[in-house]
Amino acid sequence: MGSDFYTTSILPYAPIIIKICRAYTNNQQDFEDYYQEVCLQIWRSRDNFKHQSEWSTWIYKLSLNVCLTYLKKAKNTHQHFVSDRLPEELIEDSQNFNEQSIDQLYRAIRQLSEIDRGVILLYLEERPYQEIAAIIGSNANNIGVRIKRIKQRLNKILNIKEN
């Protein structure tokens, strides 16, 4: 990967990649593996970007797809965690996240299904429903309903009173 490409086309969007990879991993080692894999795939697939969407949207899409694929591989080889159970050993400290509550939110997000994790991350990143639907491969109405349901679940896990 040319360092120019990384500096100009990936690094400015690193926060997106970091946030997504964090939702699909439980420890620093996995997180770094996922991050590197996403960067590598962005670089390898760069010629497939047809300017039909924003570069950032494309990065969201590719990051999610890579994480989902990686997670599937990990599940198949039983080397990593499963998504439906909160792992006992979760990384408590994080050089990337300075608020304790964001860690708690991430823990809650990791309890969601793989797809729901992607949906809520995009929602929290304030991506329009239409864009989330395009990235996930659904329609905007379904996404709205789904987000509502995911938020209810997260609120329940985090013990947040809904308005």
Partner 1 sequence: MNNSIEEIWKKGFISDDALVAPKLNDLYNKKSKNIVDKFEMVFKWNLIGLLVFAVVVLVVSSIQGIPYLGLFISAMLMSLVIRGRKEQNSLKLLDKSGSSYQYLKSFDDWLKQMMIGYGKLYSFFYPALFLSIATQIRNTEFGQLAINGFVNEYPDTVMLFATPLYLLLAVAVIASLLLYFSGVLYRIDFNSLYGRMLTKLKDIISDMEELRR
Q: Which residues bind partner 1 (CB under 8 A)?
A: 1-2, 6, 11, 14-15, 17-19, 31-33, 35-36, 39-40, 44, 95-99, 101-102, 104-105, 120, 124, 151, 154-155, 158-161, 163
In order, the DSSP letters of 126-152 are T--HHHHHHHHTS-HHHHHHHHHHHHH
Our CB check for partner 1 shows the closer of 39 and 133 to be 39
Our CB check for partner 1 shows the closer of 52 and 115 to be 115
Minimum Å gap between C-beta 87 and partner 1 is 20
Minimum Å gap between C-beta 60 and partner 1 is 15
Instruction: Report the C-alpha gap between 158 and 154 in whole angstroms.
Output: 6
Our CB check for partner 1 shows the closer of 19 and 61 to be 19
Minimum Å gap between C-beta 1 and partner 1 is 6
Our CB check for partner 1 shows the closer of 40 and 145 to be 40
Minimum Å gap between C-beta 10 and partner 1 is 8
For residue 105, what are the CA distances in angstroms to 22, 29, 143, 160? 11, 20, 20, 11
SS3 25: coil
Minimum Å gap between C-beta 28 and partner 1 is 8
Instruction: Report the C-alpha gap between 145 and 28 in whole angstroms.
Output: 33
Our CB check for partner 1 shows the closer of 52 and 76 to be 76
Q: Are 84 and 111 in contact (CB under 8 A)?
A: yes
DSSP 8-state secondary structure symbol assigned to residue 85: S
First-last CA distance in the chain: 48
The amino acid that residue 139 corresponds to is N
